[in-house]
Structure 1
Amino acid sequence: MNIDDLIKAVIAREGGFGDHPADRGGATRWGITEAVARADGWSGPMRDLPRDRAVAIYRRLYWSRPRLDVVAALAPKLATELFDTAVNMGPAVAIGFLQRALTALNRGGGDYADIAVDGRVGPDTLAALDAFLRRRGRSGEGVLVRAVEALQGERYLTLAEGRPANEAFLYGWLANRVG
């Protein structure tokens, strides 16, 4: 999938306007939270956020700025998973999951050095990803996708355990976001 297809899929999954009382994110339109829309300069009612503005926000904040386009050049399936995770949890969390997985999979530093979990796709993360994929081949990309999904699922459970109101969302998170 390319980024246009990924954004279409997110918008289709997220739907139009929503404002669930248990959602700390508040009102959303096309899956864009009010806080993100306001930070982007949107001042109108969330119900009126244009779809093309949401598309631009997804492309800039959840794909280009976190450098998932660069990840996609090395591992397109992984970039797809990271994009979806970034949309739901934030880019820094998604990239942090990748960094944790890469460090845990480096066989004690024998394949490449541990990397900091800083939530940014920088030269160390890209070098580790490249080294991992060279060492493990294409099947390695699938392992990284599963590792990110596992971390994502664990975070959803923790969120539900820590705030009972989040239990309203747990089934959907696990059904639609993990795997």
Structure 2
Amino acid sequence: MKTIDAIIEDVLANEGGYVNDPRDAGGETNYGITIATARANGYSGPMRDLPRATAFDIYRRRYVVAPGYAAIAGMSMPVAAELVDTGVNMGPPVASRFLQRVLNACNDRAGSPDLVVDGMAGRATLAALGAFLARRGGEGERVLLAALNGLQAARYIELCEARPANRAFAYGWLRTRVAA
């Protein structure tokens, strides 16, 4: 079974090293960490020299613990891995909204309220995910992952439609994050 550390290692492998592509709205990055994120997390050195351990720590704090995905890992490591990966590339609120939307769409229990789609994986979202997984089991987990990937793919296409410079990255996003 995968661990949170293994999830972060996968993200680091997908993101690669130092990049400063003028077409990338995120600007200068290293290990997928943008300069803005690095600065917001206390790193002040050159991005080219960002230590891997610092990137790993940022991923753990900002993309696993802060959005509540560590708790989700206790219920479903594959779902947590998908949310972390989506959160890294689109922001944790987007990943959490995707989860909430899918859980609402699959909420076929009479009288059970839908989640507020607020982008926060709080108690209600965790309870809804737990109930969904208990009711649907492994098949439900696979369906949930497919739906999350579908929303992620649609978002990449929307990003390319809104900003044609993103087309330079579309195939890579779809290949490594949706089709993998």
TM-score (norm 1): 0.96
Contact 2:4–2:73 (8 Å) recurs in 1? no
Aligned equivalent of 2:175: 175
Please state if 1:11 is matched with 2:36: no
- Which sections of structure 1, spanning at least 5 residues, go unmatched? none
Q: Specify the SS of the correspondent of 1:155.
A: helix
- Say whether the 8 Å CA contact 1:102–1:132 is kept in structure 2: yes
Worse overlay, 110-119 or 95-104: 110-119
Give the aligned length. Answer: 178
Q: Which residue of 1 aligns with 2:135?
A: 135
1:28-56 C-alpha deviation (Å, 9 max, x unpaired): 01110111001011111111111110010
Q: Determine if contact 1:86/1:94 at 8 Å carries over to the other structure.
A: yes
In the alignment, residue 99 of structure 2 is paired with which amino acid? L
Q: Deviations over 1:5-33 (max 9, x none)?
A: 11111112211100111100000011101
Deviation at 1:162, TM superposition (A): 1.0
8 Å CA contact 1:62, 1:83 repeated in 2: yes
Q: Give the counterpart letter for 2:152 in structure 1.
A: Q
SS of equivalent residue, structure 2 residue 135: helix
1:84 Cα deviation after fit: 0.7
The offset of 1:111, in angstroms, is 7.4
Over 6 Å off, 4+ runs = none
What is the alpha-carbon distance in structure 1 between the residues aligned to residue 6 and residue 172 of structure 2?
A: 22
Map residues 26-175 of structure 1 onto 2, 5 A cutoff. 26-107=27-108, 109-110=109-110, 112-175=112-175
Q: Percent identity?
A: 54
Q: 2:30, 2:101 → 1: CA distance?
A: 31
TM-score, scaled to structure 2? 0.95
For the aligned residue pairs, the C-alpha RMSD in angstroms reads: 1.1
Between 1:109-118 and 1:38-47, the stretch displaced more is 109-118
* Deviation, structure 1 residue 74: 1.0
Shift of 1:62: 0.4
1:66–1:158: structure 2 CA closer, same or farther, 3 Å change rule? Answer: same
Q: How many Å apart are 1:112 and its aligned residue?
A: 3.3
The answer to whether the 8 A contact 1:111-1:135 is kept is no
Distance 2:138 2:7 in 1: 21
- Contact kept, 8 Å, 1:29 with 1:47, in 2: the verdict is yes
